[in-house]
Amino acid sequence: MTKAAKVMVPAIKVTRLHKTFNCCKALDGVSLDINPGEMVALIGASGSGKSTLLRHVAGLAVGDSSAQGGSVEVMGRPVQARGRLATDIRATRARIGFVFQQFNLVGRLPVMTNVLTGALGRLPLWRSLTGLFPLEDRERAFEALTRVGIPETAWQRASTLSGGQQQRAAIARTLVQRAEIILADEPIASLDPESSRRVMETLATINAEDKTTVVVCLHQVDFAIRYCPRTIALKKGQIVFDGPSANLTPSTLRDLYGAEADELTAPIQGSASYITDTALAVAG
Amino acid sequence: MSTAIDTARLSPPPRQSLVKLLAWGVIFATLAWSWSGAEIRPLALIKDGANMGTFLADFFPPNFHDWRYYLEEMVITLHIAIWGTALAVVCAIPFGLLCAENVAPAWINQPVRRLMDSFRAINEMVFAMLFVVAVGLGPFAGVLALFVHTTGILAKLFSEAVEAIDPRPVEGIRATGANLLEEIVYGILPQVMPLWISYSLYRFESNVRSATVVGMVGAGGIGVVLWEIIRGFYFAETCAVMLIIIATVSIIDIASSRLRKLFI
């Protein structure tokens, strides 16, 4: 296993990535390796840079261009280096599925069309501009909707769906994309506990069945411990913890985050206290 | 003591009142300043009242003797408006996108915006006169005049709609590896479509009104008829034509505003 891991090209390789916004450093020399097939949680309080990091990995944002500016590689292909996106970024983005906190579906289009947009990266222009998706892709889209459990919504407008359903449609989009990596940026932060659980389970199933690498930004440690074997914790743009999620005990968290730890362990509207308890039991 | 504080609270702070007063002052000063330039003579309305009464009497009863001819020309006016608007909508789509800050970089959107400004700045009457010289008298000159002017207006309205979209769905499309054109078709167009349709219908309404006027410089339609009978002092006929125009424009206005409501 360890031998294979050494030979493998990392799914995601970030090297000394820096990002400065007007006021402050959002990413401060972040380096990490994630192997194919891993399911990793990225945790941290708000403003810790976890979403920023994920957006850089997908090439939706570029890092600092100064000499110390780092690089991002995905499946061995450059995404960005020294503040410049790779020229073939679109081909690389097509291999990365991105799931957003606010779902980012096109509300006025049917769910089916939203899911089919996952195929845009590999379609010839005449097909994508006319909306004539090949039968194979339409079948794949319907299968994906079935897999995430919302096939009956296929021809509804995306805006008519509940938050949890929209997020699952967004995950279906990454399935049509045949994404080798799924990056999920706070996918459950806008959802109720039950929808959150279903979304996390959908992601975990895809990780287990398709061997898709999944990186999830999370606000709550409970979910990280429950669904992700490995956790990377960020604080003020720096990695402060990278290891098995089981090692994240409440005391470790307090050491890492001080008063901010409360924000990460806060139970999610009632029902999550059960998860916290299990998590503590597992961690302890 | 306490009553003094209470009454002070009941009226706005003095600064606000002063600004309000100043604003009114500026408005009245502007009106007074333009009085003499515009030669406002309200007394003329009273002094020449009798003349105007005679003039008005010439309009009634309206003479609908040639109504078939008037209607034919009115329909041609509609044809001018339809084609002028249709061509403008088709051209305003690429121009509108190129004007939008969130689609095109400044070195593209600024020059295109200035071009659209110039299309808008020149009234359709002026374009009509130029096109009459270029393509000869007739409705085609009117179509071209409306086309150019409306392109300028619609491109601006379209681009404002594009700039007001929610960027997140577009990012969702971008994250799938789509290119710029695909981002526009799947991320932007679905969001702006209701507004674009509404704006296009509104401009069609306005173009029906404008098309009745461009005829006056020889660019075809009911305007040509109107200009001829006014110059010939056929006031009863003029009245008939004006009534036909009013009826047509009202019908189009009502129909298109009904239609627009469907899309908002």
Write out chain A residues lying below 8 Å of B167, CB-based: none
pLDDT tens-digit map of B174-205 = 999 999 999 999 999 999 999 999 999 999 98
Q: How many CB atoms lie within 10 A of CB A57?
A: 27
Write out chain A residues lying below 8 Å of B171, CB-based: 60, 100, 104
C-beta separation of B93 from B112 below 8 A = no
Q: Which residues of chain A have pLDDT under 50?
A: 1-5, 268-284
Q: What average pLDDT does range B86-91 have in this prediction?
A: 96
Provide the phi-psi class of A228: left if phi over 0, else alpha when psi is between -120 and 50, else beta: beta
Report residue A173 as tokens.
Answer: 């989009």
Place of tokens 């999920």: A184
Of the candidates A90, A106, A170, the beta carbon closest to that of B177 is on: A90
* B187:A106 CB<8 A: yes
User: Which of A117, A133, A181 to mutate to test binding with chain B, by most B CBs within 10 Å of its CB?
Assistant: A117
DSSP-based helix, strand, coil % in chain A, nearest 5 = 45, 25, 35
Alpha-carbon Rg for chain B in angstroms: 25
- Protein fold of A2-95+181-283: Rossmann fold (3.40.50)
Write out chain B residues lying below 8 Å of A105, CB-based: 169, 172
Domain boundaries, chain A: 2-95+181-283, 108-179
Query: What's the pLDDT at A230?
Result: 94
Query: What's the pLDDT at A25?
Result: 85
Residues 6+ positions from A254 with CB-CB distance below 8 Å? A261
- B186 in A contact zone (CB under 8 Å): yes
Query: What's the pLDDT at B168?
Result: 94
* A129:B177 CB<8 A: no
Query: What's the pLDDT at A7?
Result: 62
Of the candidates A104, A122, A129, the beta carbon closest to that of B169 is on: A104
Q: What average pLDDT does range B71-99 have in this prediction?
A: 94
More confident residue, B220 or B2: B220
Distance from CA of A230 to the nearest CA of B (A): 25
Q: Domains in chain B, ordered, with CATH?
A: 2-58 (no CATH), 67-263 (1.10.3720.10)
Query: What's the pLDDT at A110?
Result: 94
Q: What average pLDDT does range B163-173 have in this prediction?
A: 94
The interface pTM score, or ipTM, of the predicted complex is: 0.85
Write out chain B residues lying below 8 Å of A106, CB-based: 169, 172-173, 186-187, 190-191
When the pLDDT of each residue in chain B is averaged and rounded to a whole number, the result is: 89
Query: What's the pLDDT at A6?
Result: 52
- B177 in A contact zone (CB under 8 Å): yes
User: Which of A101, A104, A180, A181 to mutate to test binding with chain B, by most B CBs within 10 Å of its CB?
Assistant: A104
Nearest alpha carbon to residue B119 among B192, B196, B203, B201: B203
What share of chain B has pLDDT > 70, as a percent? 97
Q: Can you give the pTM of this predicted structure? A: 0.81
Query: What's the pLDDT at A266?
Result: 62
Q: What is the DSSP string of B156-207?
A: HHHHHHHHTS-HHHHHHHHTTT--HHHHIIIIIHHHHHHHHHHHHHHHHHHH
